[in-house]
């Protein structure tokens, strides 16, 4: 088991990632670890190879989360439980599919922001999904 360095532990702490959520893939082959992570349900790992900057922490997609912390929010959002909604406008006969934590607020925000030049957005459908980003 590879040990996380003090620097890595501090990084994980600042990004609110529990160290138990990091899979040790340091001993694996570069081409096999992403599939292993998926099977084990991990989003983060100690990668077999460091990035060009010497970091070891990666997302399941293989991106260095230390070089690009925006990846963390992206991945978390992808796997978060959230509502998928379909909103529609009768006036312009269009639909919009989105995800939101509070779908009613999301549709209200579309109207107040004049989204797509439309102010008659109504909720047509919404349902809660475990991994909303996948849907
Ligand atoms: Zn890096």
Specify the pTM. Answer: 0.68
Residues 71 and 88 placed together within one structural domain of the fold: no
Q: Are both 66 and 107 inside the same structural domain?
A: no
Does 37 share its domain with 98?
no
Q: Say whether both 91 and 74 belong to one domain.
A: no
Q: CA nearest 70: which of 84, 42, 78? A: 78
Q: What is the CA(123)–ligand 1 centre distance, in A?
A: 42
How remote is the CA of residue 107 from the centroid of ligand 1, in Å? Answer: 38
* Domain presence at residue 100: yes
Instruction: Check whether residue 29 and residue 60 sit in a common domain.
Output: yes
Each residue of 56-111: pLDDT tens digit? 999 999 999 999 999 998 888 888 888 889 999 999 999 999 888 778 777 888 89
**Pair (113, 71) in one structural domain:** no
Shared domain check, 96 and 41: no
Identify the pLDDT of residue 1.
Answer: 62
For residues 75 and 91, membership in a common domain is answered with no
Q: In what order do the strands lie in the sheet with 22-24?
A: 22-24, 44-46, 57-59
What's the residue count for the chain?
Answer: 135
Residue 70 resides in a domain: yes
Structural domain harbouring 95: 82-129
| Whether 74 and 95 share a structural domain | no
Same domain? For 57 and 118 the reply is no
Q: Are residues 16 and 34 in the same domain?
A: yes
Look over the chain and give the mean of its residue pLDDT values, rounded to a whole number: 90
**Residues 40 and 98 both lie in one domain:** no
Domain total in the chain? 2
Report which secondary-structure segment, H or E, holds 74. helix 70-79
Q: Does 86 reside within a domain?
A: yes
- β partners of residue 129: 82
Any domain includes 1: no
Distance 21 CA to ligand 1 centre (A): 19
Q: For residue 35, how far is its CA from the centre of ligand 1 (angstroms)?
A: 21
């Amino acid at each position: 088991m590879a040990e996380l360095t003090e620097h890595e532990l501090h990084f994980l702490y600042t990004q609110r990632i529990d160290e138990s959520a990091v899979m040790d893939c340091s001993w694996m082959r570069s081409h096999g670890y992403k599939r292993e992570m998926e099977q084990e349900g991990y989003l983060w790992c100690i990668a077999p190879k460091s990035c060009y900057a010497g970091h070891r922490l990666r997302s399941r997609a293989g991106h260095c989360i230390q070089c690009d912390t925006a990846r963390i929010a992206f991945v978390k959002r992808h796997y978060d439980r959230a509502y998928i909604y379909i909103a529609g406008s009768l006036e312009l006969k269009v639909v919009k599919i989105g995800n939101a934590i509070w779908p009613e607020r999301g549709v209200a925000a579309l109207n107040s922001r004049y989204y797509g030049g439309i102010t008659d957005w109504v909720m047509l459908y919404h349902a809660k999904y475990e991994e909303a980003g996948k849907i």
